[in-house]
Amino acid sequence: MNMQAHNHLSPQSAFDALAPCYDALFSSAHNALMAWLRRENLALMQRLFPPGGRLLEIGCGTGEEAVALARLGYTVWATDVAPGMVEQAAKRAAAMGVRDRVHTLVVPARDVGTLGVSSFFDGAFTSFGALNCEPDVQAWVQAMFTLLRPHAPLMCSVMNRWAVWEMAWYALHGEPRQAVRRLGGGWRQARMPTAEGHALVSVRYFSEREMRRVLAPAFTVETVAAWPLLLPPPYLDALFRRWRALFARLEWLERRVRSLPFCRALGDHVLVIARRRA
């Protein structure tokens, strides 16, 4: 298949095409920025979720976080819309000896309520933009309300509309259209790498305000943070590596300002921590 930029793929097809090369681009072993973000993610999840709890992941990708949590004693139902991603996640869990604690399932976010589990989950998470490709986010919210026990935590990060690092980067490089590509509402065509080149997939970007509105019917938002703010987006990993000493000095500041009222709305992603209402 000759994948050209004008090919438009469904999220399932796009992430299936990305699955063979995903780890080479975005795993902690190959992408230093993603390694830093995943460490931050996992540290936060360990504080948020009860030890040994039953967790639900939406958009598991190749299973890096699910496996890491399973190795910490959690049991994770790892779901994704793309069979290729789920297959990679199952292989990772088997290779790391935690296949009994990582249950992989192919299911869209909006349909996770059909899993038919016998008891509530102790927490749920979705990392790094899986919801940006979901056409029915309200159905997903209702499903999460059904699956989580009362007051259970939900942690989700979505690609932000007001990503100032990206806007500044493209503006400085003479690409004004790219600098403002996330602004405005509705669906946009985003370029996604695949094993055979790249493709276009429909996404929509969420602001902090929009995420609060989406979750409001079933969840109480407790924390919002830029994810990240002072560090560049993961696709600029080469820049991050080149100036690693400089960015290392910014990490302490990143942790201190990313939840401040003005700063939290300007990251590459918006991280939201909420709790299911009783």
pLDDT band (50, 70, 90) for residue 20? very high
Locate 265 and state its tokens: 């709305």
What's the topology of domain 8-276?
Rossmann fold (3.40.50)
Cβ contact 263:226 at 8 Å: yes
The whole-angstrom distance between residue 49's C-alpha and the CA centroid of its chain comes to 17
* Helix H or strand E segment including 220: strand 219-226
Residue 150 has pLDDT above 60, yes or no: yes
Cβ contact 226:267 at 8 Å: yes
* Global pTM value: 0.94
Per-residue pLDDT at 7: 67
pLDDT band (50, 70, 90) for residue 5? very low
CA 278/CA 255 separation, integer angstroms? 31
Per-residue pLDDT at 2: 34
Which neighbouring-strand residues pair with 256?
none
Residue 57 buriedness (CB in 10 A; 0-12 / 13-18 / 19+):
buried
Per-residue pLDDT at 3: 33
Mean pLDDT of 30-50: 97
Buried b (16+ CB within 10 A) or exposed e, 81-104: bbebbbbbbbebbeeeebbebbbb
Buried b (16+ CB within 10 A) or exposed e, 228-261: bbbbbbbbbbeebeeeeeebeeeeeebeebbeee
Residue 1 has pLDDT above 60, yes or no: no
Mean pLDDT of 196-212: 91
Residue 161 has pLDDT above 60, yes or no: yes
CA 204/CA 161 separation, integer angstroms? 8
Mean pLDDT of 79-88: 97
pLDDT band (50, 70, 90) for residue 245? very high
- Percentage of the chain beyond pLDDT 70 is 97
Q: What is the mean pLDDT of the chain?
A: 94
Mean pLDDT of 105-118: 91
Torsion from C-alpha of 193, 161, 179, 203, nearest 10 degrees: 30
Question: Hunting for tokens 């400085």 — which residue is that?
Answer: 172
Can you give the residue ranges of every domain in the chain? 8-276
Residue 126 has pLDDT above 70, yes or no: yes
CA 136/CA 111 separation, integer angstroms? 9
Cβ count near 160 (within 10 Å): 29
